[in-house]
Structure 1
Amino acid sequence: MEARFLLLSDVATELNVTDSQVYHMVRSGELPAIKVGGRGQWRVERAKLEEYIQRKYSETADWVQQNPLIERDSD
């Protein structure tokens, strides 16, 4: 059974980015997370990570549609 909550380092591994990039995404509110325990350690719910990934796919598709690739003539 997969864990419901992920460490920020686990999220970084999943997204192939640095821990500090994930921390910034969480602190900015871009990626929903919670603080747990007496030391306030961050955790990201797996479902929220999947929603984030789907949102990024949608945003990227919109961007690609608005910014079509213009092929250059090769001389």
Structure 2
Amino acid sequence: MEPRFLLMADVAEQLNVSTSQVYHMVRSGELPAIKVGGRGQWRIERSKLEEYISRKYAETAEWVRTNPLVERTDDDPLA
């Protein structure tokens, strides 16, 4: 059985980002988390991480829909 709560390092590894990026996502409210224990260590519930990932897929799909890829031509100076 998988643990219900993940360490920030576990989340960072799963998302392939740094622990400081996960900390920023938590502190900004983008990724829900809780503080536990006397030292206030952060924990992210596995289900909240999955919700976050689903939300990011939806946001990315919307961005792709509203920002279509424009094919460059041979005479395009930026090509």
User: Which structure: larger Rg?
Assistant: 2
Partner of 2:59: 59
**1:70 alignment partner in structure 2:** 70
Amino acid at match of 1:71: E
Matched residue, 1:35: 35
Aligned counterparts of 2:43 and 2:72: Cα–Cα separation in 1: 46
Give 1:74 shift. Answer: 3.3
Task: Name structure 1 gaps, 5 residues minimum.
Answer: none
Report the TM-score when normalising by structure 1: 0.97
CA drift of 1:73 comes to: 1.9
Provide Cα deviations, 1:26-74, integer angstroms capped at 9, x if missing partner.
Answer: 0000000000000000000000000000000000000000000001123
TM-score by length of 2: 0.92
Sequence identity, in percent? 77
CA distance in 2, matches of 1:37, 1:46: 19
Q: RMSD of aligned C-alpha atoms?
A: 0.8
Instruction: Count the aligned residue pairs.
Output: 75
